[in-house]
Amino acid sequence: MSLNSNGSMRKGGKSDAILDWLQMFSGVALIIFVFMHMSLVSSVIINPDVMDKIASTYEKNYMAQIGGPILFLLFLFHFYLAARKIPFRLDGQKTIWAHAKMMKHRDTWLWIVQVVSAMLILVMGSIHMWAVLSDLPITAARSAARVQSGPWLYFYLVLAPLVIVHVVAGLYRIAVKWGFIRNAQRGKLNRFATGLAVFFICIGLATIVRFMTLNA
């Protein structure tokens, strides 16, 4: 069973199962990318030259020029798959909200957090990708200049934690939904996911601070 866009229940079929698998695989691919991306960008904390060398290696192999657009298409494809279960009509949203308050179930609220964050990431993530890919090559100095100019600091202070919360919530829900974690192990998974989120949020904020102080 799954949700229609108006919040009502409908029976799933073989095509829904295939789309669910595609949603999971695209989600896992994006989760891996986010953790790798944040790890590589955070190398600026160690030394800006380290980040420049990593970025240069990627660009020499055309991974930024080709991989960037492919990543953006994967990003849109994953959102399209996930949007099948998001109620866009007001009455559907009211139904979901009422059910969440009535059941007081943590995983239901986690799904709502994912939906809200997905909407924001769709817009903010697209802006970030455009800003980066339209200003190649990627360097620590250019990234720092962008963070230090205009509203970009506040933009990334919102986007970085938002992305981490979304992907960690996604990782948790994939593990539970597809049976990788048993019910008895949910407590451990919850603690691991919380720790992972806190760790990467701290790394993200430290990276932003480093960009703000670079060449200052």
Annotated binding site for heme b: 37, 78, 128, 166
Q: 9 Cβ partners below 8 Å, 6+ apart?
A: 1, 2, 3
The secondary structure element, H or E, covering residue 2 is strand 2-3
Helices (H) and strands (E) in the chain, counts: 8, 2
- By the 8 A CB rule, do 187 and 201 touch? no
Q: How many CB atoms lie within 10 A of CB 73?
A: 10
Q: Which residues are annotated as a binding site?
A: 37, 78, 128, 166
Return d(Cα 92, Cα 117) in angstroms, integer.
18
